[in-house]
Structure 1
Amino acid sequence: MTILILAALAVSIGLGYVTKINIGFFTIIFAYLIGCFGMGLKPAEIIELWPVKIFFIIFAVTLFYNFALANGALEKLAGHLLYKCRKFPQLLPLAVFFASTLIAALGAGFYTVLAFMAPITLLLCKKTNMSMIIGGMAVNYGALAGANFMTSQSGIIFRSLMENVGIDSATGFTYATGIFVVTLIIPIIVLGLYTLWNRNSSAIHIEDIKPEPFDTKQKKSIFLIVLMMVIVLIFPILNLIFSDNALIAFLNSKIDIGFIAIIFALISLLMKLADEKKVMALVPWNTLIMICGVGMLIALGVKLGLITQLSDWLANNVPLWLIAILICLISAVMSVFSSTLGVVTPTLFPIVPAIALTSGLNPMVLFICIVVGAQASAISPFSSGGSLILGSAPDGVDRNVLFNQLLFRAVPIGLVAALIAVLVLKFVM
């Protein structure tokens, strides 16, 4: 049964890649077939494996953030941030990175940021003579790092997955903060080194065209996003600082980002900041189905003791110094062909507590290794991030050349940076 579940996951990924159908549908069917006919479970027991909490949180948060997407607030914010860099053209890669990071951190999420920032960035590359690979890496790195922020889409998913494996919310918040910080630092170093290397080059030119100012609805959306982030972040931070304060601990235990997001979504509807139908249509239903569908199959594996078996094998057969590096590499290989959020983290996060317990390694380091490894190869043209960048290439750009550059230049650069970061983490933590 254990081998069958692993095979089902691999087959689901393969079928999803070949057919271009959401792999969540395949994993749901496999969970039903294996669970009911192989393990003797009732259909109702299989349905209960659907991760309701993760589904609710992602739905609620993206619903609220979609108001700023629907009324153009985040897209206009990107234009203003890039305009600020017009007098320092050599800093354009870092400007693209920070613009993408900020927009993703404000709640747009990885896929949404790439969807509207990648075309802008690649067009900028063509107009300003910036390297397509560096531009692609900058927007991809930024979308990933920003989405990893504790209150943004990926950060919320990471925290929910951690809580599902028994990690309390305060510790999960700390671990998620570590993931965000590391995935923010790595791109700054990589892009900073590129900027220093090309500091004397005058190839990049930026047009001096000022974006239009924000309208009233856009200003209100940005204000509400910032206000919600303050409310959601302030209590976990205060709880870490004043851990003995009963009132802060009580308030922190009652603050839930999903319910807070629903409140702010309702406020946005009452203020008529965007069309309700358009906001609902922007909810990432594909991502929700993929994450929850894979979650059902993984939950079935947990019932069989799959997680314990995998963690025991790693702890007993792999040298201690190699475990973190191996996990990083496994994540990177998986991410070449699949989604970090939909496949890699739901599959590997559950094994972390057991590995940490048997090996003595810091769980935060292992969680960071998984995310850093997965995001190192997320720019692969076979993965969702790389395919979005490839599809955003403007007319006149040879997509075959860009395909090879993404796969054989951007991925190796990202992987080397990830492995160096893992080695540094091992000595620091």
Structure 2
Amino acid sequence: MMSMLVVAAIVAAVALGYKTKINIGLFAIAFAYLIGCFGMGLSPSEIINMWPLKIFFVIFSVCLFYSFATVNGTLEKLAEHLIYHCRTVPQLLPFAVFFAATVISAMGAGYYTVLAFMAPITLLLCQRTGMSLIVGGMAVNYGALSGANFVSSQSGIIFRGLMTNAGVSDNDAFINAFGIFVSTLVIPLIVIAAFVFLAGHGKALKASAFAATRPESLNSQQKTTLWLTLTMMAIVLAAPVAHIALPDNATITFINSKMDIGLIASIFSVIALLLKLGDERKAMASVPWGTLIMICGVGMLISVAIKAGTIDILASWIGSSIPPVLVPVVFGIVAAFMSLFSSTLGVVTPALFPMVLPISTSLGLDPMILFIAIVAGAQATSISPFSSGGSLILGSCTSEQSRSTLFPQLLFKAAPIGFVAALIFNLLLTFVL
């Protein structure tokens, strides 16, 4: 009975947030308090302790540091240079857009920030070069998603935090997060390649010629920001990679145990401020506070669900009712459906990740397969015009005519193709791993 009540509360929080445009996390906190204290007899301090403090701190620290590169224009300038250098091979322009979005997003800009400044650039390139709107839209959208999934970028950090909260070791969480990044990099590349080389889009691009104005060089402040960002990424990645390569080395094990991306990012934020790489107030304002509240609020409600045994019941039902080979596909479908109405980071992954270990243990599946299936499925439909990503792309159209042309292409072509590609990938992954 209590499990059903918690599930109803999760659905209600999402529905109320969707309807009222109020942060879902705030509704989740209210439901966690009411159900936990008055329905399950938990104390208020127990409910407050369910706030995922580590995830909150890591996301805040990393986003604060990366916001300097956004505030002082480093990432936008870098995107312009990457696309400019593709002017001599126009048929490869979709891949240039994809990789530019991936790199900029991986360097900390995050999904929405990259779409905000790269979608208008991409759609303008579509007009100048003959690149179809659907190919351009898919390239910038899935590139931004893939880059954000990198292990040291915003989404990748959230995934790692959710995994460790669900009982996965730090080392395995790093490996699983890297698997998610590679998978969400490969799937859209295959889809874009099919459009360019099999559907005739490449020939149209090759026949076109477009003039690109050389962007201005990075100024000294932006160059410093770029090197500082690359240095932090190298430090964050070096220790876990070395530990995976040499797990028995005592020195590397010790260093890796002392590494924390949130604390490292805090140090680099201080360095950025001392070097005057950006305004502190603007950098602080760029932190995605709404996303933080949503993730942590829903995390509290999910913790109540775990306490009530809801996650174990759902995991047991899936493990006993669905053939093991289809479990990743089912997870992908459920995640894709959920993401149509809610956030992948704030709702879908916090709700589904806790089920992975119980199900993978009972069915003998590699947990990485299920983690990848959830994220790939959830992000496949992100280009729908009803989602935040698709709506940002539509909003970047320069005319009402191009907007009305792109809307049905995103809804009836891009989103279904991305969804089917993710499901096929999830099915193949089951046999490969």
- By the TM > 0.5 criterion, same fold? yes
The 5 Å alignment of 1:387-402 reads 387-402=391-406
Deviation of 1:292 after TM superposition, in Å, equals 0.7
Q: Is 1:339–1:383's contact at 8 Å kept on the other side of the alignment?
A: no
| Matched residue, 2:298 | 294
For the pair 1:200 / 2:203, whether they are aligned, the reply is yes
| Matched residue, 1:255 | 259
| Matched residue, 2:268 | 264
Equivalent-residue separation in structure 2 for 1:227 and 1:349 (angstroms): 31
For the pair 1:365 / 2:369, whether they are aligned, the reply is yes
For the pair 1:338 / 2:342, whether they are aligned, the reply is yes
Equivalent-residue separation in structure 1 for 2:90 and 2:296 (angstroms): 43
Higher mean displacement: 27-36 or 347-356: 27-36
Q: Is 2:356–2:371's contact at 8 Å kept on the other side of the alignment?
A: yes
2:424 to 413, 420, 423: 420
The one-letter code matched in structure 2 to 1:29 is A
Higher mean displacement: 19-28 or 120-129: 120-129
Q: Is 2:131–2:204's contact at 8 Å kept on the other side of the alignment?
A: no
For the pair 1:320 / 2:324, whether they are aligned, the reply is yes
2:240 to 227, 236, 240: 236
For the pair 1:311 / 2:315, whether they are aligned, the reply is yes
Describe the superposition over 1:382-404 as per-residue Cα deviations: whole angstroms up to 9, x where unpaired: 22212222222222435344332
Q: 1:142 to 1:310 in 2, by over 3 A?
A: same
Q: Is 1:338–1:384's contact at 8 Å kept on the other side of the alignment?
A: no
* Matched residue SS, 2:383: coil
The 5 Å alignment of 1:90-109 reads 90-109=91-110
Q: Is 2:130–2:204's contact at 8 Å kept on the other side of the alignment?
A: no
The one-letter code matched in structure 2 to 1:163 is T
* Matched residue SS, 1:87: coil
Deviation of 1:28 after TM superposition, in Å, equals 1.2
Unaligned stretches of 5+ in structure 2? none
Unaligned stretches of 5+ in structure 1? none
For the pair 1:181 / 2:186, whether they are aligned, the reply is no
Q: Is 1:93–1:134's contact at 8 Å kept on the other side of the alignment?
A: yes
Equivalent-residue separation in structure 1 for 2:115 and 2:208 (angstroms): 22
For the pair 1:407 / 2:402, whether they are aligned, the reply is no
| Matched residue, 2:135 | 134
Q: 1:399 to 1:20 in 2, by over 3 A?
A: farther
Q: Is 1:221–1:273's contact at 8 Å kept on the other side of the alignment?
A: yes
| Matched residue, 2:26 | 25
Q: Is 1:308–1:351's contact at 8 Å kept on the other side of the alignment?
A: yes
Equivalent-residue separation in structure 1 for 2:391 and 2:343 (angstroms): 11
Deviation of 1:148 after TM superposition, in Å, equals 0.7
| Matched residue, 1:3 | 4
Q: 1:4 to 1:398 in 2, by over 3 A?
A: farther
Equivalent-residue separation in structure 2 for 1:16 and 1:397 (angstroms): 32
| Matched residue, 1:68 | 69
Equivalent-residue separation in structure 2 for 1:267 and 1:364 (angstroms): 36
* Matched residue SS, 1:313: helix
Describe the superposition over 1:68-118 as per-residue Cα deviations: whole angstroms up to 9, x where unpaired: 100000000000000011111111111110000000111111111112111
* Matched residue SS, 2:401: coil
Deviation of 1:2 after TM superposition, in Å, equals 1.0
Higher mean displacement: 396-405 or 239-248: 396-405
Q: 1:346 to 1:359 in 2, by over 3 A?
A: same
Q: Is 2:70–2:109's contact at 8 Å kept on the other side of the alignment?
A: yes
Q: Is 2:68–2:277's contact at 8 Å kept on the other side of the alignment?
A: yes
Equivalent-residue separation in structure 2 for 1:295 and 1:60 (angstroms): 19
Equivalent-residue separation in structure 1 for 2:328 and 2:262 (angstroms): 32
Q: Is 1:66–1:282's contact at 8 Å kept on the other side of the alignment?
A: yes
What is the number of residues matched between the two proteins?
Answer: 429
Q: Is 1:175–1:364's contact at 8 Å kept on the other side of the alignment?
A: yes
Deviation of 1:185 after TM superposition, in Å, equals 0.9
Q: 1:397 to 1:253 in 2, by over 3 A?
A: farther
Describe the superposition over 1:189-229 as per-residue Cα deviations: whole angstroms up to 9, x where unpaired: 11112121333224654322100000000000000010001
TM-score (normalised: structure 1)? 0.97
Percent identity of the aligned residues?
Answer: 59
Equivalent-residue separation in structure 2 for 1:338 and 1:296 (angstroms): 17
Equivalent-residue separation in structure 1 for 2:215 and 2:432 (angstroms): 43
* Matched residue SS, 2:178: helix
| Matched residue, 1:386 | 390
Describe the superposition over 1:160-187 as per-residue Cα deviations: whole angstroms up to 9, x where unpaired: 0010011111111111111111111111
Cα RMSD for the two superposed structures: 1.2
Describe the superposition over 1:257-284 as per-residue Cα deviations: whole angstroms up to 9, x where unpaired: 0000000000000000011111011000
Deviation of 1:416 after TM superposition, in Å, equals 1.1
* Matched residue SS, 1:337: coil
Deviation of 1:405 after TM superposition, in Å, equals 2.0
For the pair 1:170 / 2:174, whether they are aligned, the reply is no
Equivalent-residue separation in structure 1 for 2:30 and 2:395 (angstroms): 30
TM-score (normalised: structure 2)? 0.97
Equivalent-residue separation in structure 1 for 2:304 and 2:214 (angstroms): 54
| Matched residue, 1:273 | 277
Deviation of 1:52 after TM superposition, in Å, equals 0.5
| Matched residue, 2:151 | 150
For the pair 1:56 / 2:57, whether they are aligned, the reply is yes
